[in-house]
A and B are shown apart, each in its own frame.
With several copies, the nearest count.
Chain A
Amino acid sequence: MTGSPDMSVVIGSLTLRNPVLTASGTFASGREYADFVDLSRLGAVVTKGVSLKPWAGNASPRIAETACGMLNSIGLQNPGLAVFTQKDLGWLETQDVPVIVNVSGHTVDEYAEICRRLDSDSRVDAFEINISCPNVDAGGMVFGTSCPDAASVVSACRAATSKTLIVKLSPNVTDNTEIARAFVDAGADAVSLINTLLGMAIDIEKRRPKLARVVGGLSGPAIRPVALRMVWQVANAVDVPVIGMGGITNSRDAVEFMLAGATAVAVGTANFVDPTTTMRVVDGLTEYARSEGLVRVEELIGALET
């Protein structure tokens, strides 16, 4: 079609047909959304976090609603790598969409082992290393907030795979730019942010936390300004592509993240609200690019004037 902008973007060795991804843990592996979303129109599917062995996750209640947001303490419940490889990758193979596997672990070795085992699996296009989940005791955010530890996870994964390696950053830190630089030095091809902000809610009648685990991760529109600020800071600090997320609900939000420096964006909590959100974002972003007369959507990346 003449006049229609080139929507593709590049992350590591991957070329995505457009910059719209799903945020890990909010889209499972996509099967549940296939009734609402044409997966072949997504930039990529980012899977739910997968660990080597099955994880049971946290006790319920696992979610609580907050002003323009929600808290979750799912705790990376997943059936483990073997089931994931068979069931989820088996299904994703039948879909025409790049697959980014979100990797969780309790130890450096666990993270690396998952990358190693999937390195030769052609159904996997990239890894997103989740060292920033606020909902697990060992691993997760403990790694994500301390530079040396986290960087060693990244180095180990780098050594284990030649596929595109994305590292997901925690927002619960003083300075994300420093951490992002350490990850890039350790071999990350791209960084993604933000994971959820650690938060809490209380039932005042019962005088108990609304989440069984007491604290959980805040996501949704409420966190968008914080996410956007961090994407802007990190995009200005590193030379690799940044995948931006946090409260994206429509294509206008996606444009904000790209202007701030994101090469791609991911839609998370908004999938729960409207399961067709990713499609609306793809359509709206394309329309915006067209109306702004862009040849390539990449022209938006970091195009903020300050």
Chain B
Amino acid sequence: MTGCCGAGEKGHAGERPSLERVDVLSNERIAEGVGLMILHARHTASLVEPGQFVHLRVDKGRDFILRRPFSVHRARGEQIEILYQVLGQGTLAMAELSCSDDIDLIGPLGHGWDVPADVNHALLVSGGLGAAPLGGLAEKLAREGVAVTCAMGAPTQERLVGLDVFEAVARRVVIATDDGSEGELGFVTGPVERLLAEGSFDIVYACGPEVMQRAVAAMCAEVGVRCQVSLERLMACGIGACLSCVVTTKDGLKRACVEGPVFDAEEVCWDVSEIPPKH
């Protein structure tokens, strides 16, 4: 009865988020502690832009109440893909879902990656699950004829996700792992620094731990390359009403769920610590 409601009320039929009941089409463990869930989300799939997210409800009848925000990794046809790391009770509950379960989500939400018209060669930098919101972006850039290079970081080879998507469309993929089990040993910032020194990029898109994004933003500022980052904040409503997700920017507080999660790296006041404590 509630179903997909509201869309159209403002005359932007189809451009507004809606509450959508969705079926789980598949849900598999694809790396250590990481799941890939495919949802049949007609409304969201048709509208979502790379970098946007959905607000998933996995809590019905559970002892926790809030929704959980997840980037859409890729959208194809009527389906969306969610790449998620199992961390706490919400993602544990997600890992238990199986094909034919139905859940609900609000989406698509937020401001995704901007692709300026003059971009020729983009560097995508991911740290761990940061690959999630970059998957759809890589494909879109490739479709639009932009050359893509990817620098991926992960703790170990077992926890590297998204490689297949990047490899399918990128000109070049460079990998760094903390233990050297895949690619070079160390943080992804190492290869990023070398790549930037090559001077061929006109934009950098970064997602991963906030310290990594901050470091990448600093390197980009150094060499004068535009940089966009996707920031995580704890989110209650996900639609701009509760002000739990604010990011301190040079223009004041902005809501990560509406004005973000993608921000211009220059805008962000990096020295204000707002990172939720993750284990």
The chain A residues found within 8 Å of chain B, CB to CB, are 25-28, 32-38, 56-57, 59-65, 67-70, 72, 74, 77, 203, 205-206, 208, 210, 212, 220-221, 269, 271-276, 279-280
Q: Are B243 and A274 in contact (CB under 8 A)?
A: no
Evaluate contact between B63 and A279: CB separation under 8 angstroms. no
Mark contacts of B1-21 with chain A using CB atoms, 8 A cut-off: 1 yes-contact digit, 0 otherwise. 010011101100000111100
The residue in chain A whose Cβ has the minimal distance to the Cβ of B6 is: A35
Check A210–B277 contact: CB distance below 8 A.
Answer: yes
Interface range, B side: 35 or more
A27 to B243, CA, bound (A): 10
Q: Which of A74, A208, A220 contacts B244 (CB 8 A)?
A: A74
Please give the residue numbers on chain B whose beta carbons come within 8 Å of chain A beta carbons, in ascending order.
2, 5-7, 9-10, 16-19, 57, 59, 63-67, 106, 233-234, 236-244, 246, 253, 258, 272, 274, 276-277, 279
Specify which of B19, B59, B242 is in contact with A36 (CB 8 Å cutoff): B19
A interface SS class: loop
Task: Name B253's contact: one of A56, A203, A212 (CB within 8 Å).
Answer: A56
A37, A208, A273: the one contacting B65 at CB < 8 Å is A273
CB pair A208 B236 closer than 8 Å? no
The answer for the CA separation of A67 and B65 in the assembled complex, in Å, is: 8
The answer for the CA separation of A26 and B17 in the assembled complex, in Å, is: 18
Return A281 CB to nearest CB of chain B, in Å. 12
For A61, the chain B residues whose CB sits under 8 A away are 233-234, 274, 276-277
Contacts of B57 in A (CB 8 A): 273-274
Q: Which chain A residues border B243 with CB–CB below 8 Å?
A: 57, 62, 74, 77
Given the contacts A56-B253, A70-B65, A220-B65, A272 and B6 also touching, CB distance less than 8 Å: no
Contacting residue for B2 out of A62, A70, A210, A279, CB 8 A: A279
A67 touches B241 (CB 8 A): no
Q: In the complex the two chains form, what is the Cα distance from A70 to B63 in whole Å?
A: 11
B26 to chain A, nearest CB (A): 26
